[in-house]
């Protein structure tokens, strides 16, 4: 455990065996294991050994342990479109595994403001908001004007052409006219949940 948080394995470039052996070692320490970016095929092998493990294919996340809520702060996770689903689900299940209390609302894109405005209460009651969007990445700017809560913007790679695989989205979020947004890497739902954890853990502890 690097700095007091659950143990995480980044599964993308690792073989199933490697993920298994790393998991076994972590579990010896009686720590739960979160595996990100793990595909169905590797997950099947994992589940053969750990039949109780949780796995969500959309989020590409596996988790060996119990989802036990440890924090009370309201973490709201929203997305601009249904194409951002894998990213917000990565954020959602990471948050669950961290003991946070997340709520997920999808498809609140700025080209259909009425849908977003229908959730004004949820926005104003949240203690922390993760906002994922692809394409032009405008959603965090609009949300930033509707609430004073901390906002973690996650650019997604949804889009094509001028979108530059999410680079345009990320740069746009960093250039936002709404003050005090902070941004994580493209498609980094895990990192956004972790940023929320840093915040909530620190302040609930006080």
Considering the complex, state which of residue 129 and residue 189 has its C-beta at the smaller distance from ligand AMP. Answer: 189
**DSSP for residue 180:** T
Report in angstroms how near the CB of residue 44 gets to its own copies at its nearest: 20
Burial classification of residue 48, based on how many CB atoms lie within 10 Å of its CB (0-12 exposed, 13-18 middle, 19 or more buried): exposed
Report in angstroms how near the CB of residue 141 gets to Mg ion at its nearest: 12
Task: Yes or no: say if 81 and 126 are a contact pair by the CB < 8 Å rule.
Answer: no
Considering the complex, state which of residue 1 and residue 49 has its C-beta at the smaller distance from its own copies. Answer: 1
Considering the complex, state which of residue 7 and residue 127 has its C-beta at the smaller distance from ligand AMP. Answer: 7
Give which of its own copies, Mg ion, ligand AMP, none residue 149 binds (C-beta under 5 to 8 Å, depending on kind). Answer: its own copies
Give which of its own copies, ligand AMP, Mg ion, none residue 182 binds (C-beta under 5 to 8 Å, depending on kind). Answer: its own copies
The answer for residues whose C-beta is within 8 angstroms of residue 200's C-beta and 6 or more apart is 71, 73, 75, 100, 127, 128
Report in angstroms how near the CB of residue 181 gets to ligand AMP at its nearest: 10
Considering the complex, state which of residue 46 and residue 129 has its C-beta at the smaller distance from its own copies. Answer: 129
- Closest by Cα among 149, 111, 159, 112 to 129: 149
Report in angstroms how near the CB of residue 107 gets to Mg ion at its nearest: 4
Task: Yes or no: say if 155 and 170 are a contact pair by the CB < 8 Å rule.
Answer: yes
Q: What is the binding site for ligand AMP (CB under 6 A)? A: 8-10, 36-37, 81-83, 179, 188, 190-191
Q: What is the binding site for Mg ion (CB under 5 A)? A: 81, 107, 109
Considering the complex, state which of residue 48 and residue 118 has its C-beta at the smaller distance from its own copies. Answer: 118
Report in angstroms how near the CB of residue 52 gets to its own copies at its nearest: 25
Give which of ligand AMP, its own copies, Mg ion, none residue 135 binds (C-beta under 5 to 8 Å, depending on kind). Answer: its own copies
As a whole number of angstroms, the distance between CA 194 and CA 17 comes to: 26
Helix %, strand %, coil % of the chain (to 5): 45, 20, 35
Which residues share a beta bridge with 151? Answer: 129, 181
Matching residue, tokens 């052996």: 21
């Amino acid at each position: 455990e690097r700095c007091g948080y659950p143990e995480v394995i980044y599964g993308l470039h690792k073989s199933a065996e490697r993920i298994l052996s790393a998991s076994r070692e972590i579990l010896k320490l009686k720590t739960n294991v979160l595996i990100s970016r793990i595909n169905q095929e590797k997950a099947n092998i994992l589940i053969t050994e750990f039949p109780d493990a949780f796995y969500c294919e959309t989020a590409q996340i596996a988790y060996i342990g119990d989802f036990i809520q440890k924090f009370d702060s309201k973490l709201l996770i929203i997305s601009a479109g249904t194409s951002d689903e894998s990213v917000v689900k990565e954020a959602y299940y990471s948050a669950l595994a961290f003991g946070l209390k997340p709520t997920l609302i999808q498809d609140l894109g700025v080209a259909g403001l009425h849908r977003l405005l229908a959730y004004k209460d949820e926005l104003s009651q949240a203690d922390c908001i993760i906002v994922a969007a692809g394409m032009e990445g405008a959603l965090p700017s609009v949300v930033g004007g509707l609430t004073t809560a901390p906002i973690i913007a996650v650019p997604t790679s949804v889009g094509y052409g001028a979108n530059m695989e999410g680079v345009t989205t990320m740069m746009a979020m960093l250039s936002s006219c709404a003050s005090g947004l902070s941004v994580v890497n493209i498609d980094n739902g895990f990192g956004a949940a972790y940023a929320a954890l840093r915040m909530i853990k620190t302040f609930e502890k006080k």
